[in-house]
A and B are shown apart, each in its own frame.
Chain A
Amino acid sequence: MTAIDVNIEAVEPRGTKPKKVLSNRNIMVYGVLIVAAIYYLIPLYVMIMTSVKGMPEIRMGNIFSPPVEITFEPWVKAWAHACTGLNCDGLSRGFWNSVMITVPSTIISILIASVNGYALANWKFKGANVFFTILIFGAFIPYQVLIYPIVLLLSQIGLYTKLAGLVIVHTVFGMPILTLLFRNYFISLPEELFKAARVDGAAFWGIFIKIMLPMSLPIFVVAIILQVTGIWNDFLFGVIYTKPANYPITVQLNNIVNSVQGVKEYNVNMAATMLTAIVPLVVYFVSGKLFVRGIAAGAVKG
């Protein structure tokens, strides 16, 4: 120790201040971050490990130990044979239902909200802000207040339990956040651009398609991320506005795992859970920072 001290005294300070890699500060910062990271990763780890073990191994071992023998049988079963009630065609049905719900809902909700956001940003008309305010506050109304009257409305137009009905519901409930997202984005674009286009004689749709759309690719990606994950993960609307044959994957997953009949096959359950998680996880890992931007943009200003 003393030798080092003497050394430091002897050397005139010069250049970068020497730093200990393992300073107390670093140990604390990285220690906390790593412990937190482990807490966050455990469930994913457990899900994957459980889903590739056989049932005997699950009964014997513990949930954290890696599989002795890897089997993809549970995944196959979860996808193709798992039972919900009397149906035993697996999660695949719910998966394709969710695809059929998510794709049109995402497209329609984004189309409507982008045009609407553009109208609010650049073509303010009398009363527009009143409706916009109602829309934003609407985002805070608990769904429980609205679900029943919407059932009645959808029955009136004959879309209750139909796919189209659920698409409408997703469009409606996605509208506040998406409209806000697009409106704020279009407001952030230089106004001169819009004015110049108007002077050049372009009108509402012309400006939107030729000027605004080409500049808004990032915000559309953010909106797509937001909607795909949101709609795919939805449970409440799926359970209320569809019939069992059309149940989205989340509802079917819950029914499979929490069904009271039969022997519990935990490996199949976890494989089914992973299958449900894959779509949003892929979206998340591929989109990276845009995902953060999406949720932050949607949330902070909401």
Chain B
Amino acid sequence: MEKASRPSQLFRNLSAKFAAIPMVLTALVIFVGCTVWSFVYSFTRSKLLPKPLFTTEDLFSIPMPTWLIKDGSFDVYYITGFVTKSFVGMAQYDRLWSNSRWLTSIENLALYAGFALVFSLVVGFILAAFMDQKIRFENTFRTIYLYPYAMSAIITGLVWQWILNPTFGIEKIVRGWGFENFEFAPLQNPDLVMFGILIAGVWQGTGFIMALMLAGLRGIDEDIWKASRIDGIPMWKTYIKVVIPMMRPVFVTTLVLITAGILKVYDLVVAQTNGGPGLSSQVPAMYVYSYLFTAQNLGQGLAASTMMLLGVLIILIPWTIIEFGGKEKR
């Protein structure tokens, strides 16, 4: 009698494992490996090129407690950790948070994110609710609202730069109507520039939010609407008291998606203002890019990028717990 031998675990599903190699490599090398690398090197004094973490010199010298020394190249006292020849503890982060350009970037991002979130959620939902009224030409409206989303943020930035151009655009037209002192040059005004970008960003993104919301609305049991009509609830009240609470998951998901997208905002600003005037429309992604590739201060760029990652995690982790933590218990 021949005994059927159980195939080794390793070789079961071999084709599937083979097919998954790109995924495994991407997950491990790129998403885990590169993130860890960036994180580690954000604690180094890497300039143009990454500095080796340990040099032979380190073998012969005792790493110094950082709170004792003052580094020549960084005008700060290290607060924590030990330094080697390249390892500088939290120095890059100290410097980051005392850099006015970074602080401007964070302020800009917060401003942009706050307005963009509220605006695109409210407008997106209202448009979706109106689209859900069994209207005619629904497809036409949807096509119009969504086409900007198909285009590059570069295009969005450039076209709105043109429309907001004070010499030729809206300002000129309104002045032409007789309002000689009308001023509308958000992209040239450091105080308003983020709103100029907001106009373009909302233009591009709201259609997408509308589509998500509309899908959410269509997912609501039609009997709910019937029940509320029989109860004699006005439509607006049904939306506020019944439908919106029911769409909570859609709102949360949308919120996470918009926020994650906003943190990455880069192309749009590059095209529309390139961070100007001056440094007034800088965003974190731009800060990272310039320190990594032009200012030749790798450690600083990586520290900034790590802060961006932290920002994403702050949004992502609670969301994951709410969204998936509950499900597993069931």
Interface locus among A9-17, A82-90, A144-152: A144-152
Contact of A125 with B152 in the complex, beta carbons under 8 Å:
no
Residue of B nearest to A31 (CB): B130
With an 8 A cutoff between CB atoms, is A159 at the interface? no
Known: A43-B163, A123-B13. A62 touches B146 (CB 8 A): no
Contact of B158 with A283 in the complex, beta carbons under 8 Å:
no
Known: A142-B264, A258-B274. A63 touches B162 (CB 8 A): yes
- Shortest C-beta distance, A9 to chain B (Å), equals 24
Contact of A276 with B38 in the complex, beta carbons under 8 Å:
no
Decide if the interface of chain B is mainly helix, strand, loop or mixed: helix
A residues 109-140 touching B (CB-CB < 8 Å)? 112, 115-116, 118-120, 123-126, 128, 131-132, 134-135, 137-138, 140
- Shortest C-beta distance, A75 to chain B (Å), equals 16
Contact of B130 with A254 in the complex, beta carbons under 8 Å:
no
Contact of A204 with B312 in the complex, beta carbons under 8 Å:
no
B144 contacts which of A37, A64, A143, A269 (Cβ < 8 Å)?
A37
With an 8 A cutoff between CB atoms, is A36 at the interface? yes
Contact of B143 with A285 in the complex, beta carbons under 8 Å:
yes
How distant is the Cα of A124 from the Cα of B30 in the complex, in angstroms?
22
Interface locus among B15-23, B67-75, B190-198, B221-229: B15-23
Number of interface residues of B (CB under 8 A): 94
A43, A59, A131, A300, most chain B CB atoms within 10 A:
A43
Contact of B158 with A32 in the complex, beta carbons under 8 Å:
no
Q: Interface code B238-273, partner A: CB below 8 Å = 1, 0 otherwise?
A: 000000000000100100010010011011001100
Contact of B270 with A235 in the complex, beta carbons under 8 Å:
yes
Task: List B contacts of A234 (CB < 8 A).
Answer: 152
With an 8 A cutoff between CB atoms, is B230 at the interface? no
With an 8 A cutoff between CB atoms, is B155 at the interface? yes
B135 contacts which of A30, A203, A257 (Cβ < 8 Å)?
A30
Q: Interface code B106-137, partner A: CB below 8 Å = 1, 0 otherwise?
A: 00000000000000000100110011010100
Task: List A contacts of B305 (CB < 8 A).
Answer: 142, 144-145, 148
Known: A63-B169, A116-B19. A46 touches B163 (CB 8 A): yes
- Shortest C-beta distance, B255 to chain A (Å), equals 12
Contact of A144 with B159 in the complex, beta carbons under 8 Å:
no
How distant is the Cα of A140 from the Cα of B314 in the complex, in angstroms?
12
- Shortest C-beta distance, B220 to chain A (Å), equals 15
- Shortest C-beta distance, B197 to chain A (Å), equals 14
Contact of B17 with A125 in the complex, beta carbons under 8 Å:
yes
How distant is the Cα of A284 from the Cα of B267 in the complex, in angstroms?
21
How distant is the Cα of A41 from the Cα of B139 in the complex, in angstroms?
15
Decide if the interface of chain A is mainly helix, strand, loop or mixed: helix
Q: Interface code A2-41, partner B: CB below 8 Å = 1, 0 otherwise?
A: 0000000000000000000000000001101100110111
With an 8 A cutoff between CB atoms, is A296 at the interface? yes
Contact of B292 with A280 in the complex, beta carbons under 8 Å:
no
A175 contacts which of B26, B133, B312 (Cβ < 8 Å)?
B26
Contact of B34 with A150 in the complex, beta carbons under 8 Å:
yes
Q: Interface code B1-38, partner A: CB below 8 Å = 1, 0 otherwise?
A: 00000000100110111011011101111111111011
Contact of A62 with B168 in the complex, beta carbons under 8 Å:
yes
With an 8 A cutoff between CB atoms, is A253 at the interface? yes
Task: List B contacts of A229 (CB < 8 A).
Answer: 150
How distant is the Cα of A235 from the Cα of B151 in the complex, in angstroms?
12
- Shortest C-beta distance, B319 to chain A (Å), equals 10
With an 8 A cutoff between CB atoms, is B90 at the interface? no
- Shortest C-beta distance, A91 to chain B (Å), equals 12
How distant is the Cα of A277 from the Cα of B151 in the complex, in angstroms?
6
Contact of B133 with A281 in the complex, beta carbons under 8 Å:
no
Residue of A nearest to B132 (CB): A29
Known: A40-B147, A235-B267. A119 touches B19 (CB 8 A): yes
Task: List B contacts of A233 (CB < 8 A).
Answer: 151-155
Known: A134-B27, A235-B270, A277-B151. A37 touches B162 (CB 8 A): no
Known: A285-B143, A295-B211. A43 touches B33 (CB 8 A): no
How distant is the Cα of A142 from the Cα of B263 in the complex, in angstroms?
8
Known: A131-B27, A146-B34, A233-B151. A41 touches B144 (CB 8 A): yes
How distant is the Cα of A31 from the Cα of B212 in the complex, in angstroms?
22
Contact of B149 with A123 in the complex, beta carbons under 8 Å:
no
- Shortest C-beta distance, B276 to chain A (Å), equals 10
With an 8 A cutoff between CB atoms, is B89 at the interface? no
With an 8 A cutoff between CB atoms, is A76 at the interface? no
Task: List A contacts of B292 (CB < 8 A).
Answer: 144, 147-148
Contact of B20 with A116 in the complex, beta carbons under 8 Å:
yes
A145 contacts which of B50, B135, B306 (Cβ < 8 Å)?
B306
A residues lining the B interface (CB < 8 Å): 29-30, 32-33, 36-37, 39-44, 46-47, 50, 58-59, 62-64, 112, 115-116, 118-120, 123-126, 128, 131-132, 134-135, 137-138, 140-150, 152-153, 171-172, 175, 179, 203-205, 229, 232-236, 240, 250, 253-254, 257-258, 266, 269-270, 273, 276-277, 280-281, 283-285, 288-289, 291-292, 295-296, 299-300, 302
Of the A-B pairs whose beta carbons lie under 8 Å apart in the complex, a sample of 17, sorted by A's number, is: A40-B148, A47-B159, A59-B168, A63-B163, A64-B173, A119-B15, A119-B19, A131-B24, A143-B264, A145-B306, A149-B33, A233-B154, A233-B155, A258-B271, A281-B150, A295-B149, A296-B212
6 smallest CB-CB distances across A and B, nearest first, come from A138-B31, A204-B15, A123-B16, A233-B152, A149-B34, A284-B150
- Given A115-B19, A123-B15, 18 further pairs, Cβ under 8 A: A32-B127, A40-B145, A43-B148, A46-B162, A119-B15, A119-B20, A123-B13, A125-B13, A128-B16, A135-B31, A137-B316, A144-B264, A144-B289, A144-B305, A175-B26, A280-B151, A281-B150, A292-B142
